[in-house]
Structure 1
């Protein structure tokens, strides 16, 4: 019998790489990264970690990688944590935005979600087991000034969760999204220039408005993820779990 495999997309991101480090001793991990791999260096020699470079917007590429890993390591995709999040880094109102840039942000986030699900769901259905977590954002419901492409893509993702829960609940496949507010990360490590300033101002404003006065920390996401990928839950599906310090 094949071992269960947990797939994490955009694994070099600050949140995804943290989750990978925390889950590596409990699962066989396939960590899919796009360009950078520096945050995964410490995991490269771990016996339960498989690293692969992948453009998640290309279904054929993603499918080939997963099939190769299945054959090489005798694993079955049983868990998916999808973390792809391309930002609207032009920080422009829609009427001022470049159509191709807007399209790229929306399609990257939306197509990568479809592709990850399309690649994994048949295996999960065949095994009659699957646990899926998609990382959304509070902007899926609130909107995001000067970030409409990103907000729209996250809204599409959250809605996709509801449809897939209806389609696959009978196969013991549970899918949910986590929509955090701004996560406490090292912004300077990923952004620069005007967009870095935009993110810093957005975080500062958010922190001043949220009842707890806090940004979301990575450590608070971990127990929620663990719950949503647990075999112990059997009826929690189709939900968007918001973590935003009580901000309405």
Structure 2
């Protein structure tokens, strides 16, 4: 398992769920990984779980000064970036009639503004020929009641991959988005605003909408991201890779 041997990777939202599973997989594949997230304790726990070749940086992608500090640490420790997994995201339930300005701003500050500047500020450190993977969502093509702001933000992410593919082609930097379906992570219980009972009901409803009959595992998403990060996907750029059990495909 050396598909990322000698590469330096940065992962936002790397302290839990998809980000953590991907960080573990990247290290197993030979990469040195820098993970960032807002909660120091969770980052430290993630580092222990990963075990080696990992650096943690506390920060919020919606705060540009935090991104500057992240990349200053990456530059000091590694000098360059080969892979960026812009994964940090936010998504709380808010029906149109009840959504507030604060809800809208938080969603777009993290998912759109934060991701945009995560990539922009990484570019001076990027080696030519690198790989950028953006976390979108199957909601970028689906109508999901209560998640309209979130879905719109993830549609923006999908378009970033299209535009940046063309902007960065001369540097041979590949840009792809990856759209997970419902994944079995703590996020449904901890970030959506649902009660435990509501979260359990939502998980059952999501599973019923997926042809494979279950939610995905973080490790299954990590497999797909590792493929996009590696030279095995050397002729793939500008795509949106759905890893959704068929939810948005049939």
TM-score scaled to structure 2, two decimals? Answer: 0.87
**Does 1:48 pair with 2:50?**
no
Q: How many residues align?
A: 241
Q: Deviations over 1:79-134 (max 9, x none)?
A: 1111111112xx3321221122222212221111111101112322xx32211111
Deviation at 1:231, TM superposition (A): 2.5
Do 2:11 and 2:34's aligned partners in 1 also have CA atoms closer than 8 Å?
Answer: yes
Q: Are residues 208 and 109 of structure 1, via their aligned partners in 2, closer, same or farther at CA, if it must alter by over 3 Å?
A: same
Residue of structure 2 in register with 1:104 after alignment: 106
Q: Deviations over 1:23-81 (max 9, x none)?
A: 2241111111112532642525944111110121122321233123312x243111111
Aligned counterparts of 1:108 and 1:131: Cα–Cα separation in 2:
21
Residue of structure 1 in register with 2:17 after alignment: 14
Residue of structure 1 in register with 2:94 after alignment: 92
Q: Secondary structure at the match of 1:96?
A: coil
Deviation at 1:144, TM superposition (A): 1.8
Q: Which residues of structure 1 form unaligned runs of 5+?
A: none
Q: Are residues 223 and 65 of structure 1, via their aligned partners in 2, closer, same or farther at CA, if it must alter by over 3 Å?
A: closer
Q: Are residues 176 and 121 of structure 1, via their aligned partners in 2, closer, same or farther at CA, if it must alter by over 3 Å?
A: same
Aligned counterparts of 1:196 and 1:166: Cα–Cα separation in 2:
44
Deviation at 1:11, TM superposition (A): 1.0
Do 2:61 and 2:67's aligned partners in 1 also have CA atoms closer than 8 Å?
Answer: yes
Q: Are residues 128 and 215 of structure 1, via their aligned partners in 2, closer, same or farther at CA, if it must alter by over 3 Å?
A: same
Q: Deviations over 1:197-229 (max 9, x none)?
A: 444333211211222112112222222111101
**105-114 vs 226-235, which moves further:** 226-235
Do 1:187 and 1:196's aligned partners in 2 also have CA atoms closer than 8 Å?
Answer: no
**52-61 vs 110-119, which moves further:** 52-61
Kindly report which structure 2 residues correspond to 1:148-159, keeping only aligned pairs within 5 A, or say none.
148-159=148-159
Q: Which residues of structure 2 form unaligned runs of 5+?
A: 1-5
Do 2:40 and 2:58's aligned partners in 1 also have CA atoms closer than 8 Å?
Answer: no
Aligned counterparts of 2:152 and 2:120: Cα–Cα separation in 1:
21
**Does 1:76 pair with 2:76?**
no
**Does 1:130 pair with 2:134?**
no
Residue of structure 1 in register with 2:34 after alignment: 30
